[in-house]
Amino acid sequence: MFVNLKISEIVPNPDQPRKFFDEAKLKELAGSIKENGLLQPVVVRPTESAEAPYVLIAGERRWRSCKEAGLETIPAKVIKDASEEKAYVLSIAENVNREDMTIMEEAGAYADLKAAGWTPAKIAKQFGKTETHITWRLGLLTLRPEVAKMVDEGHIKNNLAWHIAQLSPANQMVAAMRYVRGDFDSEAEAQHFANGLKMMEKQTSLTNEEPPSEEVQEQRKKARAKAKDGLGKAEDILIPLFEELGEKKPEDLAVILGTDLDRYVRVVGKIYSQVQQVRNLLSKAQGVQRAMAAEFNKAAVEVQQEAAQQKATKPQAAKRQGAAKPEGSATAAAKPTARKAAAKPAAPRAKATGAGAGKSPAPTAPAQKKTEPVAGAAKTAEPATAK
Protein backbone atom coordinates (compact mmCIF):
# COMPACT_ATOMS: atom_id res chain seq x y z
CA MET A 1 0.00 0.00 0.00
CA PHE A 2 1.43 3.37 -1.07
CA VAL A 3 0.56 6.48 0.93
CA ASN A 4 1.92 9.97 1.56
CA LEU A 5 3.17 10.20 5.15
CA LYS A 6 4.45 13.11 7.14
CA ILE A 7 8.23 12.94 7.48
CA SER A 8 7.80 13.60 11.20
CA GLU A 9 5.73 10.41 11.48
CA ILE A 10 8.68 8.26 10.39
CA VAL A 11 11.78 7.37 12.40
CA PRO A 12 14.92 5.58 11.19
CA ASN A 13 15.46 1.96 12.07
CA PRO A 14 17.97 1.79 14.98
CA ASP A 15 19.16 -1.58 13.60
CA GLN A 16 19.82 -0.16 10.15
CA PRO A 17 22.98 -1.89 8.82
CA ARG A 18 24.23 1.34 7.24
CA LYS A 19 25.73 3.78 9.72
CA PHE A 20 27.64 6.12 7.39
CA PHE A 21 25.91 8.59 5.04
CA ASP A 22 27.94 10.88 2.81
CA GLU A 23 26.74 14.42 3.53
CA ALA A 24 27.77 15.71 0.09
CA LYS A 25 25.77 12.97 -1.66
CA LEU A 26 22.78 13.60 0.60
CA LYS A 27 22.77 17.28 -0.42
CA GLU A 28 23.16 16.28 -4.07
CA LEU A 29 20.12 13.99 -3.82
CA ALA A 30 18.18 16.69 -1.96
CA GLY A 31 18.77 19.06 -4.88
CA SER A 32 17.50 16.42 -7.33
CA ILE A 33 14.38 15.84 -5.19
CA LYS A 34 13.62 19.57 -5.17
CA GLU A 35 13.73 19.61 -8.96
CA ASN A 36 12.16 16.24 -9.83
CA GLY A 37 10.47 14.96 -6.68
CA LEU A 38 11.15 11.57 -5.05
CA LEU A 39 10.98 8.92 -7.73
CA GLN A 40 11.28 5.86 -5.45
CA PRO A 41 9.14 5.68 -2.28
CA VAL A 42 10.58 4.66 1.05
CA VAL A 43 9.46 1.43 2.75
CA VAL A 44 8.05 1.53 6.28
CA ARG A 45 6.17 -0.63 8.77
CA PRO A 46 3.80 0.36 11.55
CA THR A 47 5.23 0.50 15.06
CA GLU A 48 3.76 0.81 18.53
CA SER A 49 6.48 3.24 19.54
CA ALA A 50 5.28 6.49 21.09
CA GLU A 51 7.98 8.40 19.18
CA ALA A 52 6.40 7.90 15.75
CA PRO A 53 3.81 5.58 14.17
CA TYR A 54 6.16 4.28 11.44
CA VAL A 55 9.72 3.01 11.29
CA LEU A 56 11.82 2.82 8.13
CA ILE A 57 12.60 -0.53 6.53
CA ALA A 58 14.36 0.85 3.48
CA GLY A 59 15.16 4.30 2.14
CA GLU A 60 16.82 6.15 5.02
CA ARG A 61 19.08 8.02 2.59
CA ARG A 62 16.03 9.21 0.63
CA TRP A 63 14.22 10.10 3.87
CA ARG A 64 17.21 12.17 5.05
CA SER A 65 17.45 13.94 1.68
CA CYS A 66 13.73 14.79 1.72
CA LYS A 67 14.21 16.39 5.14
CA GLU A 68 17.22 18.26 3.74
CA ALA A 69 15.06 19.44 0.82
CA GLY A 70 12.46 20.84 3.25
CA LEU A 71 9.61 18.47 2.30
CA GLU A 72 6.88 17.83 4.84
CA THR A 73 5.51 14.62 3.33
CA ILE A 74 7.09 11.64 1.59
CA PRO A 75 5.65 8.81 -0.54
CA ALA A 76 5.94 5.50 1.29
CA LYS A 77 5.09 1.83 0.90
CA VAL A 78 3.62 0.45 4.13
CA ILE A 79 4.23 -3.23 4.96
CA LYS A 80 1.97 -4.18 7.87
CA ASP A 81 2.95 -7.79 8.47
CA ALA A 82 6.74 -7.39 8.43
CA SER A 83 8.50 -8.94 11.43
CA GLU A 84 11.67 -7.34 12.74
CA GLU A 85 13.79 -10.03 11.08
CA LYS A 86 12.03 -9.64 7.72
CA ALA A 87 12.36 -5.86 7.95
CA TYR A 88 16.07 -6.23 8.67
CA VAL A 89 16.55 -8.58 5.71
CA LEU A 90 14.77 -6.11 3.41
CA SER A 91 16.98 -3.32 4.74
CA ILE A 92 20.13 -5.32 3.98
CA ALA A 93 18.82 -6.29 0.54
CA GLU A 94 18.36 -2.64 -0.37
CA ASN A 95 21.83 -1.59 0.75
CA VAL A 96 24.12 -4.56 0.23
CA ASN A 97 24.87 -3.82 -3.41
CA ARG A 98 25.09 -0.05 -3.05
CA GLU A 99 28.47 1.52 -3.68
CA ASP A 100 28.28 3.74 -0.61
CA MET A 101 27.64 0.91 1.85
CA THR A 102 30.98 0.22 3.47
CA ILE A 103 32.45 -3.26 3.59
CA MET A 104 32.45 -3.29 7.39
CA GLU A 105 28.75 -2.32 7.45
CA GLU A 106 28.05 -5.21 5.10
CA ALA A 107 30.05 -7.59 7.31
CA GLY A 108 28.18 -6.40 10.39
CA ALA A 109 24.81 -6.99 8.70
CA TYR A 110 25.76 -10.56 7.81
CA ALA A 111 26.99 -11.11 11.36
CA ASP A 112 23.61 -10.03 12.76
CA LEU A 113 21.85 -12.57 10.54
CA LYS A 114 24.33 -15.28 11.53
CA ALA A 115 23.65 -14.48 15.19
CA ALA A 116 19.94 -14.96 14.44
CA GLY A 117 20.66 -18.48 13.19
CA TRP A 118 21.30 -17.92 9.49
CA THR A 119 24.04 -20.00 7.86
CA PRO A 120 26.51 -18.42 5.38
CA ALA A 121 24.89 -20.52 2.64
CA LYS A 122 21.42 -19.14 3.46
CA ILE A 123 22.71 -15.57 3.62
CA ALA A 124 24.46 -16.01 0.27
CA LYS A 125 21.29 -17.34 -1.37
CA GLN A 126 19.15 -14.56 0.08
CA PHE A 127 21.32 -11.75 -1.32
CA GLY A 128 22.66 -13.33 -4.49
CA LYS A 129 26.22 -13.72 -3.22
CA THR A 130 28.61 -16.66 -3.08
CA GLU A 131 29.15 -18.45 0.20
CA THR A 132 32.86 -17.56 -0.04
CA HIS A 133 31.92 -13.86 -0.30
CA ILE A 134 29.88 -14.09 2.91
CA THR A 135 32.60 -16.04 4.74
CA TRP A 136 35.26 -13.52 3.76
CA ARG A 137 33.11 -10.62 4.89
CA LEU A 138 32.44 -12.28 8.25
CA GLY A 139 36.19 -12.86 8.60
CA LEU A 140 36.74 -9.09 8.62
CA LEU A 141 34.98 -8.72 11.96
CA THR A 142 38.14 -9.77 13.81
CA LEU A 143 39.85 -6.55 12.69
CA ARG A 144 40.75 -4.17 15.49
CA PRO A 145 38.79 -0.87 15.32
CA GLU A 146 41.70 1.25 14.01
CA VAL A 147 42.31 -1.13 11.09
CA ALA A 148 38.58 -1.51 10.38
CA LYS A 149 38.40 2.27 10.05
CA MET A 150 41.26 2.21 7.51
CA VAL A 151 39.30 -0.39 5.52
CA ASP A 152 36.06 1.62 5.66
CA GLU A 153 37.90 4.75 4.50
CA GLY A 154 39.41 2.89 1.55
CA HIS A 155 43.03 3.03 2.70
CA ILE A 156 43.20 -0.78 2.78
CA LYS A 157 41.59 -2.89 0.06
CA ASN A 158 39.20 -5.74 0.74
CA ASN A 159 41.44 -8.70 -0.08
CA LEU A 160 44.36 -7.37 1.92
CA ALA A 161 41.99 -6.59 4.80
CA TRP A 162 41.01 -10.26 5.02
CA HIS A 163 44.67 -11.37 5.23
CA ILE A 164 45.33 -8.77 7.93
CA ALA A 165 42.24 -9.94 9.84
CA GLN A 166 43.85 -13.37 10.33
CA LEU A 167 46.62 -11.85 12.48
CA SER A 168 46.84 -11.03 16.16
CA PRO A 169 45.71 -7.48 17.07
CA ALA A 170 49.32 -6.29 17.48
CA ASN A 171 50.43 -7.68 14.12
CA GLN A 172 47.31 -6.26 12.45
CA MET A 173 48.61 -2.80 13.29
CA VAL A 174 52.11 -3.70 12.05
CA ALA A 175 50.85 -4.93 8.66
CA ALA A 176 48.28 -2.14 8.23
CA MET A 177 50.61 0.72 9.10
CA ARG A 178 53.42 -0.57 6.90
CA TYR A 179 51.03 -0.84 3.96
CA VAL A 180 49.46 2.58 4.51
CA ARG A 181 52.82 4.32 4.74
CA GLY A 182 53.92 2.72 1.44
CA ASP A 183 56.49 0.11 2.50
CA PHE A 184 55.30 -2.30 -0.22
CA ASP A 185 55.36 -1.96 -4.00
CA SER A 186 52.00 -3.74 -4.41
CA GLU A 187 49.04 -5.14 -2.52
CA ALA A 188 50.35 -8.65 -3.23
CA GLU A 189 53.60 -7.87 -1.40
CA ALA A 190 51.61 -6.66 1.60
CA GLN A 191 49.56 -9.89 1.55
CA HIS A 192 52.73 -11.97 1.50
CA PHE A 193 54.07 -9.97 4.45
CA ALA A 194 50.83 -10.61 6.39
CA ASN A 195 51.06 -14.32 5.58
CA GLY A 196 54.66 -14.30 6.81
CA LEU A 197 53.56 -12.74 10.10
CA LYS A 198 50.90 -15.44 10.43
CA MET A 199 53.58 -18.09 9.91
CA MET A 200 55.68 -16.50 12.67
CA GLU A 201 52.66 -16.51 15.02
CA LYS A 202 52.25 -20.26 14.58
CA GLN A 203 55.80 -20.87 15.76
CA THR A 204 56.10 -21.43 19.49
CA SER A 205 59.63 -20.02 19.54
CA LEU A 206 62.10 -18.31 17.26
CA THR A 207 64.63 -20.96 18.25
CA ASN A 208 62.38 -24.01 17.96
CA GLU A 209 64.60 -25.58 15.32
CA GLU A 210 67.96 -27.27 15.79
CA PRO A 211 70.94 -25.41 14.28
CA PRO A 212 71.73 -26.75 10.79
CA SER A 213 74.48 -29.35 10.57
CA GLU A 214 77.72 -28.66 8.73
CA GLU A 215 76.46 -30.76 5.83
CA VAL A 216 73.26 -28.74 5.52
CA GLN A 217 75.20 -25.48 5.78
CA GLU A 218 77.48 -26.63 2.96
CA GLN A 219 74.48 -27.58 0.81
CA ARG A 220 72.90 -24.17 1.35
CA LYS A 221 76.17 -22.49 0.49
CA LYS A 222 76.42 -24.39 -2.82
CA ALA A 223 72.74 -23.71 -3.66
CA ARG A 224 73.25 -20.00 -2.96
CA ALA A 225 76.34 -19.89 -5.19
CA LYS A 226 74.54 -21.77 -7.99
CA ALA A 227 71.52 -19.46 -7.86
CA LYS A 228 73.78 -16.43 -7.88
CA ASP A 229 75.71 -17.82 -10.86
CA GLY A 230 72.48 -18.58 -12.73
CA LEU A 231 71.14 -15.11 -12.08
CA GLY A 232 74.39 -13.67 -13.37
CA LYS A 233 74.04 -15.63 -16.62
CA ALA A 234 70.48 -14.38 -17.03
CA GLU A 235 71.68 -10.81 -16.58
CA ASP A 236 74.50 -11.35 -19.08
CA ILE A 237 72.51 -13.21 -21.76
CA LEU A 238 68.72 -13.00 -21.48
CA ILE A 239 68.29 -9.36 -20.52
CA PRO A 240 70.50 -8.04 -23.38
CA LEU A 241 68.69 -10.38 -25.80
CA PHE A 242 65.24 -9.16 -24.73
CA GLU A 243 66.40 -5.54 -24.83
CA GLU A 244 67.69 -6.04 -28.37
CA LEU A 245 64.48 -7.73 -29.54
CA GLY A 246 62.36 -5.07 -27.83
CA GLU A 247 63.96 -2.33 -29.90
CA LYS A 248 62.88 -3.92 -33.19
CA LYS A 249 59.63 -3.40 -35.06
CA PRO A 250 57.32 -6.42 -35.66
CA GLU A 251 57.89 -6.29 -39.42
CA ASP A 252 61.66 -6.28 -38.86
CA LEU A 253 61.49 -9.31 -36.53
CA ALA A 254 59.38 -11.18 -39.07
CA VAL A 255 62.25 -10.84 -41.56
CA ILE A 256 65.21 -11.18 -39.15
CA LEU A 257 64.02 -14.28 -37.32
CA GLY A 258 62.49 -15.97 -40.36
CA THR A 259 61.76 -19.63 -39.68
CA ASP A 260 62.95 -19.30 -36.05
CA LEU A 261 60.11 -16.89 -35.22
CA ASP A 262 57.76 -19.65 -34.01
CA ARG A 263 60.52 -21.04 -31.79
CA TYR A 264 61.16 -17.59 -30.29
CA VAL A 265 57.46 -17.16 -29.54
CA ARG A 266 57.28 -20.60 -27.88
CA VAL A 267 60.48 -20.25 -25.82
CA VAL A 268 59.82 -16.66 -24.72
CA GLY A 269 56.25 -17.63 -23.76
CA LYS A 270 57.59 -20.47 -21.62
CA ILE A 271 60.14 -18.15 -20.01
CA TYR A 272 57.41 -15.58 -19.34
CA SER A 273 55.26 -18.21 -17.61
CA GLN A 274 58.17 -19.39 -15.49
CA VAL A 275 59.17 -15.84 -14.64
CA GLN A 276 55.65 -15.07 -13.39
CA GLN A 277 55.65 -18.20 -11.22
CA VAL A 278 59.10 -17.54 -9.80
CA ARG A 279 58.28 -13.84 -9.29
CA ASN A 280 55.30 -14.86 -7.17
CA LEU A 281 57.42 -17.31 -5.16
CA LEU A 282 60.11 -14.70 -4.61
CA SER A 283 57.52 -12.19 -3.45
CA LYS A 284 56.18 -14.72 -0.93
CA ALA A 285 59.73 -15.45 0.23
CA GLN A 286 60.32 -11.72 0.61
CA GLY A 287 57.19 -11.45 2.74
CA VAL A 288 58.39 -14.26 4.99
CA GLN A 289 61.83 -12.66 5.27
CA ARG A 290 60.33 -9.29 6.21
CA ALA A 291 58.05 -10.95 8.76
CA MET A 292 61.01 -12.79 10.28
CA ALA A 293 62.91 -9.51 10.53
CA ALA A 294 59.91 -7.85 12.19
CA GLU A 295 59.59 -10.75 14.64
CA PHE A 296 63.28 -10.68 15.52
CA ASN A 297 63.17 -6.88 15.98
CA LYS A 298 60.20 -7.34 18.30
CA ALA A 299 62.06 -10.03 20.26
CA ALA A 300 65.14 -7.80 20.47
CA VAL A 301 63.08 -4.95 21.91
CA GLU A 302 61.55 -7.31 24.49
CA VAL A 303 65.03 -8.53 25.52
CA GLN A 304 66.26 -4.94 25.86
CA GLN A 305 63.25 -4.01 27.96
CA GLU A 306 63.76 -7.05 30.18
CA ALA A 307 67.47 -6.24 30.62
CA ALA A 308 66.65 -2.62 31.48
CA GLN A 309 64.08 -3.75 34.00
CA GLN A 310 66.54 -6.14 35.65
CA LYS A 311 69.21 -3.41 35.72
CA ALA A 312 66.76 -1.05 37.41
CA THR A 313 65.78 -3.59 40.08
CA LYS A 314 69.38 -4.56 41.07
CA PRO A 315 70.27 -1.23 42.80
CA GLN A 316 66.99 -1.35 44.71
CA ALA A 317 67.68 -4.90 45.91
CA ALA A 318 71.25 -3.96 46.90
CA LYS A 319 69.97 -0.91 48.75
CA ARG A 320 67.49 -3.02 50.71
CA GLN A 321 70.24 -5.53 51.60
CA GLY A 322 72.60 -2.70 52.68
CA ALA A 323 69.93 -1.21 54.91
CA ALA A 324 69.41 -4.58 56.61
CA LYS A 325 73.14 -5.30 57.28
CA PRO A 326 74.00 -2.90 60.26
CA GLU A 327 71.27 -4.24 62.52
CA GLY A 328 72.12 -7.85 61.76
CA SER A 329 75.87 -7.24 62.17
CA ALA A 330 75.50 -5.60 65.60
CA THR A 331 73.35 -8.43 66.87
CA ALA A 332 75.69 -11.05 65.47
CA ALA A 333 78.70 -9.31 67.08
CA ALA A 334 77.03 -8.97 70.45
CA LYS A 335 75.96 -12.57 70.79
CA PRO A 336 79.41 -14.20 70.36
CA THR A 337 80.92 -11.68 72.81
CA ALA A 338 78.35 -12.55 75.41
CA ARG A 339 78.79 -16.25 74.88
CA LYS A 340 82.60 -15.88 75.12
CA ALA A 341 82.37 -13.82 78.29
CA ALA A 342 79.99 -16.26 79.89
CA ALA A 343 82.21 -19.18 78.98
CA LYS A 344 85.38 -17.87 80.71
CA PRO A 345 84.39 -18.70 84.33
CA ALA A 346 83.45 -22.24 83.38
CA ALA A 347 86.99 -23.20 82.34
CA PRO A 348 88.70 -22.38 85.70
CA ARG A 349 85.88 -24.05 87.62
CA ALA A 350 86.40 -27.18 85.57
CA LYS A 351 90.16 -27.08 86.32
CA ALA A 352 89.52 -26.46 89.99
CA THR A 353 87.09 -29.33 90.19
CA GLY A 354 89.60 -31.59 88.47
CA ALA A 355 92.45 -30.47 90.74
CA GLY A 356 90.38 -30.89 93.85
CA ALA A 357 89.47 -34.38 92.98
CA GLY A 358 93.07 -35.59 92.63
CA LYS A 359 95.10 -33.50 95.15
CA SER A 360 94.74 -31.59 98.46
CA PRO A 361 92.29 -28.67 98.50
CA ALA A 362 95.12 -26.09 98.86
CA PRO A 363 94.99 -24.74 95.25
CA THR A 364 91.28 -24.11 95.53
CA ALA A 365 91.59 -20.66 97.11
CA PRO A 366 93.73 -19.10 94.36
CA ALA A 367 91.40 -20.51 91.75
CA GLN A 368 88.45 -18.81 93.37
CA LYS A 369 90.31 -15.49 93.42
CA LYS A 370 90.91 -15.72 89.65
CA THR A 371 87.24 -16.22 88.92
CA GLU A 372 86.13 -13.04 90.68
CA PRO A 373 87.18 -10.56 87.97
CA VAL A 374 85.83 -12.85 85.26
CA ALA A 375 82.46 -12.90 86.91
CA GLY A 376 82.53 -9.13 86.86
CA ALA A 377 83.32 -9.19 83.16
CA ALA A 378 80.35 -11.44 82.59
CA LYS A 379 78.12 -8.99 84.38
CA THR A 380 79.46 -6.20 82.18
CA ALA A 381 78.62 -8.21 79.06
CA GLU A 382 74.99 -8.78 80.04
CA PRO A 383 73.80 -5.17 79.40
CA ALA A 384 75.63 -5.16 76.04
CA THR A 385 73.65 -8.25 75.03
CA ALA A 386 70.42 -6.66 76.19
CA LYS A 387 71.17 -3.59 74.17
Q: Which of 23, 48, 51, 60 is catalytic?
A: 60
What pLDDT score was predicted for residue 346?
Answer: 46
What pLDDT score was predicted for residue 150?
Answer: 93
Strands of 42-46's sheet in order across: 2-6, 73-78, 42-46, 54-58, 10-11
What pLDDT score was predicted for residue 341?
Answer: 41
What pLDDT score was predicted for residue 177?
Answer: 92
d(CA 90, CA 75) in angstroms, rounded, equals 18
pLDDT tens sequence for the chain (387 residues): 677 788 888 888 776 666 667 677 778 778 888 777 777 788 888 887 667 788 887 777 888 888 888 888 888 888 877 777 777 777 777 667 666 678 888 888 888 888 888 899 999 998 888 999 999 999 999 999 999 999 988 899 989 999 999 999 989 999 999 999 999 989 999 999 999 888 888 765 444 456 667 787 777 777 777 777 777 777 888 888 888 888 989 888 888 888 888 988 998 888 888 888 888 888 888 787 777 777 666 665 666 677 677 777 766 666 666 655 554 444 444 444 444 444 444 444 444 444 444 444 444 444 444 444 444 443 433 444 443
What does the buried/exposed string (b/e) look like for 132-167 if buried means 16 or more CB atoms within 10 Å of the residue's CB?
Answer: ebbebbbebebbbeebbebbbeeebeeebbbbbbbb
d(CA 188, CA 194) in angstroms, rounded, equals 10
The answer to whether the beta carbons of residues 5 and 54 sit under 8 Å apart is yes
The answer to whether the beta carbons of residues 95 and 18 sit under 8 Å apart is yes
Residue 177, number of CB atoms within 10 A of its CB: 13
d(CA 320, CA 47) in angstroms, rounded, equals 72
What pLDDT score was predicted for residue 370?
Answer: 44
The answer to whether the beta carbons of residues 79 and 59 sit under 8 Å apart is no
Is 23 annotated in the active site?
no
What pLDDT score was predicted for residue 167?
Answer: 92
What pLDDT score was predicted for residue 378?
Answer: 39
What pLDDT score was predicted for residue 160?
Answer: 94
3-class secondary structure for the chain? CEEEEEHHHEECCCCCCCCCCCHHHHHHHHHHHHHHCCCCCEEEEECCCCCCCEEEEECHHHHHHHHHCCCCEEEEEECCCCCHHHHHHHHHHHHCCCCCCCHHHHHHHHHHHHHCCCCHHHHHHHHCCCHHHHHHHHHHHHCCHHHHHHHHCCCCCHHHHHHHHCCCHHHHHHHHHHHHCCCCCCHHHHHHHHHHHHHHHHCCCCCCCCCCCHHHHHHHHHHHHHHHHHHHHHHHHHHHHHHHHHCCCHHHHHHHHHHHHHHHHHHHHHHHHHHHHHHHHHHHHHHHHHHHHHHHHHHHHHHHHHHHHHHHHHHHHHHHHHHHHHHHHHHHHHHHHHHHHHHCCHHHHHHHHHHHHHCCCCCHHHHHHHHHHHHHHHHHHHHHHHC
